[in-house]
Amino acid sequence: MAMAQVQKLSRKRVRGITVQNMFPNSQEWQVSVLNDDVNLASFVVLMLMRELGISQESATCLTLQIDELGGATVFTGLEDSCQALVKTFHSYGLQAIMEPVPQGAN
């Protein structure tokens, strides 16, 4: 699948809901999953499907993106939800990090 298509799909997923609409004064955070050479693709797909509630196709897109670009943003939201999600990802043994959404990214 073309990379532009992958990115478009995942952007649609990530931008499904924005914190800025609900809490205009709060900082928006994002969770990224980083690539590593040990975890298996099928395991990552399963984890994304379960924890983000997305379909196999979307999860496969994100996994491809993680594999080819070295990482992918999988979730955007409030700081607390991001912390909980990163904690869950770590319990699967995945390398996930969170950071504030860079200004002007939208």
- Contact present, 51 and 89 (Cβ < 8 Å): yes
What is the distance between the alpha carbons of residues 49 and 56, in angstroms, rounded to a whole number? Answer: 6
In the list 7, 35, 49, 78, the residue contacting other proteins (rule: CB under 8 A) is: 49
- 43 contacts other proteins (rule: CB under 8 A): yes
In the list 6, 54, 62, 66, the residue contacting other proteins (rule: CB under 8 A) is: 54
- 45 contacts other proteins (rule: CB under 8 A): yes
Sign (positive/negative) of CA torsion 86, 101, 65, 13?
positive
In the list 4, 17, 24, 103, the residue contacting other proteins (rule: CB under 8 A) is: 17
* Amino acid letter for position 72: A
Which residues partner with 98 through β-bridges?
A: 31
Could you list the residues that contact other proteins (CB under 8 A)? 13, 16-17, 37-40, 42-43, 45-46, 49-50, 52-56, 58, 75, 77, 83, 86-87, 90-93, 95-99
